[in-house]
Amino acid sequence: MKQWYIAGILTCAVMLLAFHSEQPLTRAQLGEQLFFDPILSGDRTISCASCHKPQFAFADTVAFSQGIHGQLTRRNTPSITNQRGRPSFFWDGRSASLEEQAKQPIISAAEMGLPIEEAVKRLNADSSYVRAFRTLFNSVPTERNLLNALAAYERTLETANSPYDRYINGDDHAISPEAARGRLLFIGKANCSNCHSGEDFTADRFKNIGLYNGTTLADAGRFEVTKDSAQMGFFKVPGLRNVAVTAPYMHNGMFKTLREVIQYYNKPDAIVDNGIKRDLSLNTPLNLTDTEINELEAFLKTLTDDRFINQ
């Protein structure tokens, strides 16, 4: 971890030096500079990349990330890979576009803690950013083009170069026999594909998987946005690409490993026996054997893109 931290600092420094010496070529490249620049946090100590760590599929490695002044986020930091075309963002789905999503961490008091007006003011005081925005947007920095640039970068974070991708494209040896059996479990006995479907293994729906009981697990999730009591304890179903490198898991980071996640779905009542409004599909134990749990975990690991494989 220490080596990755140092490497990340060096990478950021090189990027910023390059930026100040010549103009970014695209809006996405400008967004990348902004993503790694602590200029967008209130005390200039953190950037978007502080919580969305590139080497971990742009997720974090702790249950709750640390914002300015040592404050902790309320929910686990999700990966932002493969977000192009998603209809909603955040665990509670409160944002409907990547642009809107990009704004929320900047203005959140517990995260980057900077009013968007101040962020724009800072960028306009930086001659290099002013030149870049004029070149790419024919305008000085504004809230709209700041968020457009960040969203443009996030849309480049698509991944489709994993052992699984090679397997479904005809390479029968791209994944192990154990993982191949895990794939059959995923779409069969384990019933994972009921929620995790499609190219990115998310149906872009909200589900209550039983991690809300109103007491020890009191985050009501989607209900806080819609105020619909039928959505109490509902959270956005995350995509599973690169899931093996994005631990810990769930909106509250309560599971440290993929195996713990599988064990929960296998027998939910053994871990949380008083979940309110839990989806009916989880009322019957899966009765997976230890061997089958190993196979399912092996399959999930094949969803890791090559750029993250060593993590």
Structure tokens at 165: 């991708």
Query: What is the pLDDT tens value at each position of the chain, 311 positions in all?
Result: 444 445 455 555 555 555 555 656 899 999 999 999 999 999 999 999 999 999 999 999 999 999 999 999 999 999 999 999 999 999 999 999 999 999 999 999 999 999 999 999 999 999 999 999 999 999 999 999 999 999 999 999 999 999 999 999 999 999 999 999 999 999 999 999 999 999 999 999 999 999 999 999 999 999 999 999 999 999 999 999 999 999 999 999 999 999 999 999 999 999 999 999 999 999 999 999 999 999 999 999 999 999 998 76
Predicted pLDDT at 266: 98
Domain boundary among 154, 181, 197: 154
Say whether the peptide bond before residue 78 is cis (omega within 30 degrees of 0): no
Same domain, 143 and 70: yes
In this structure, the answer to whether residues 115 and 200 fall within a common structural domain is no
User: Domain of 145?
Assistant: 2-154
The residue length of the chain stands at: 311
Looking at the chain, list the stretches that DSSP marks H as alpha helix, in order from N- to C-terminal side.
Answer: 2-21, 27-35, 48-51, 98-107, 116-124, 127-137, 143-154, 163-168, 177-187, 223-226, 258-266, 290-301
224 and 279 both lie in a single domain:
yes
Domain boundary residue, one of 100, 133, 154: 154
For residues 127 and 233, membership in a common domain is answered with no
Q: 95 and 18, same structural domain?
A: yes
| Residue with tokens 């749990």, as numbered in its chain | 293
Tell me, yes or no, whether 131 and 46 share the same domain: yes
Alpha-carbon distance of 264 to 107, in angstroms, equals 35
Query: Domain containing 6 — which CATH number?
Result: 1.10.760.10
Instruction: Tell which of 123, 154, 185 closes a domain.
Output: 154
67 and 110 Cβ atoms separated by less than 8 Å: yes
What pLDDT was estimated at residue 13? 52
Q: Which of 40, 195, 46, 54 is nearest to 118 (CA)?
A: 40
In terms of domains, do 174 and 140 share one?
no
Domain count, the chain: 2
